[in-house]
Amino acid sequence: MNQKELNEIRRRLHPEKTTVGKIYGCFVNTAKNVIARFERSVGLMSENEREKYMAVLKGALAGTLGKNLIAVPFSARDAGESEKHRLLSDLRRTSLADEELREKLYGEIIGSFEIEDANLLILLADDVYDVPKRNRSGEDALDDSETVYHYILCAVCPVKDGKPALGYDHTEKTFTLTSADQLAGPPVTGFLFPSFDGRSANIYSALYFTKSAGDVHPELMDALFGTPAPMSSEEQKDAFCEVLAETLDEECSFSVVRAVHEELRGRLSAHKESRDPEICEITAAEVGNILADNGVDGEKVIAFRQKCTEKFGGDLLIPDNLIARNRFKLETAEATINVDPDASVRVETRIIDGRKYILIPADGDLEINGMNVHVD
């Protein structure tokens, strides 16, 4: 799925536009015992209630593609033989109406996922979207459906005790201590099946959501899809730094790393300005060219490319997962320095009298803990 397709499905979950008929739920305690199962008709909900349910479901499509939202591919063999794929397909085929199938999915999630100190709410929704044709300007053509996209959406949320607060008591006409017994938080994980690729259903792919880009919950991914979990965005960043440090060795200098950072930031900025809905990608070969342009030895560039292929399982990299685009942080044993990424080119490193120094121009005002000071 690309960004435009993702946004198109997100809009389906607007409380005033949704065509979701029923929402099914399962409430589980920390001991993994099911407290309650329920089904709710969206059409019979109050406006506020419908809005809350839709916000939770929409939360399972939140975040960034490639970071919080991960494409999970199925092979043709998986689609024909995998029990995991068959369960998802049967749930979709029956529009979630089969209680036995729902229980099986609940069991997979409950058995493989935990949130410490919190109960668990699992929500399931089914929707059928008459995908309109697009005219030449890219706008939807009215009353003209091109295909039907039938999908299921799952959101897994923590449920915690509400905090006591002062609330108005209409009977006593005063404020008294009150609290909600259990409050559902935003989803921490979930999935969409099948993916919406090329504005149609792709039964060979699912879209998996994780709130924490640093934790993809591998046990849950295996239970749901039977596939090994990919590296999280944090793991990708750590692996990229490790590959650079190992293969470049002493040539992993401040200027080289800064050049890589600046080039990746430039790629991300240009991609954003282009409004390209696809995920921004770069090859290890292209990063190797950046290294070579900044004086890195050719053999080390080759070693970098080979190591990237080993670590990432291929040549393609996602720049947004390799750097912190809005931060340029330098750390030593005694200090941490945050520099505006746009000003990183002005930072220098020097060795003076045998000691390493970081030099940052101090033009304009200089403040220490909010106090304006002069440079002697």
**335-352 mean pLDDT:** 90
Average pLDDT estimate for 141-166: 83
> Residue 74 in contact with residue 82, Cβ under 8 Å?
yes
CA angle 314–320–324, rounded 5-degree value:
125
Closest C-alpha among 105, 107, 74, 108 to residue 91: 105
- Cβ contacts of 219 within 8 Å, gap of 6 or more: 112, 113
Cβ atoms within 10 Å of 284's Cβ, excluding its own: 22
User: What pLDDT, on the 0 to 100 scale, is given for residue 140?
Assistant: 59
What is the residue extent of each domain of the chain? 3-162+173-225, 233-325
Q: Strand pairing partners for 339?
A: 328
Looking only at the bridges linking them, the beta strands covering 174-178 and 34-41 are unpaired
pLDDT for 288? 94
Nearest to 203 by CA among 180, 184, 225: 225
Helix axes 298-312, 233-248, angle to 10 degrees: 150
pLDDT band of residue 169 (cuts 50, 70, 90) is confident
Determine the average pLDDT of the residues in 274-293.
94
Sign of the C-alpha dihedral, residues 305, 306, 311, 313?
positive
Query: What does the pLDDT read at residue 181?
Result: 74
pLDDT digits (tens, 9 = 90+) for 72-83: 999 888 777 889
pLDDT at 297 exceeding the cut of 90: yes
Residue 266 has pLDDT above 60, yes or no: yes
3-state SS, residue 17: coil
Please report which confidence band the pLDDT of residue 104 belongs to, taking 50, 70 and 90 as the band edges.
Answer: very high
| Separation between Cα atoms, residue 197 and residue 4, nearest integer Å | 10
Q: Check whether 137 has a pLDDT greater than 90.
A: no
Residue 204 CA to residue 208 CA, distance in Å, equals 13
In this prediction, residues 92-120 reach a mean pLDDT of 93
The residue that leads in pLDDT, 6 or 376, is: 6
Return the pLDDT at 252: 92
Confidence of residue 136 (pLDDT cuts 50, 70, 90): low
Mean pLDDT, the chain, as a whole number? 90
**pLDDT at res. 174:** 82
DSSP letters spanning 91-144: HHHTTT--HHHHHHHHHHHHHH---TT-EEEEEEEEEEEEEEEE-TTSPEEEEE
Per residue in 176-233, pLDDT (tens digit) is 777 677 788 899 999 999 999 999 999 999 999 999 988 899 999 999 999 888 888 9
Q: Supply the pTM of this predicted model.
A: 0.86
Q: What pLDDT score does 287 carry? A: 95
Give residue 139's pLDDT band: very low, low, confident or very high (50, 70, 90). low
Instruction: Identify the pLDDT of residue 138.
Output: 60
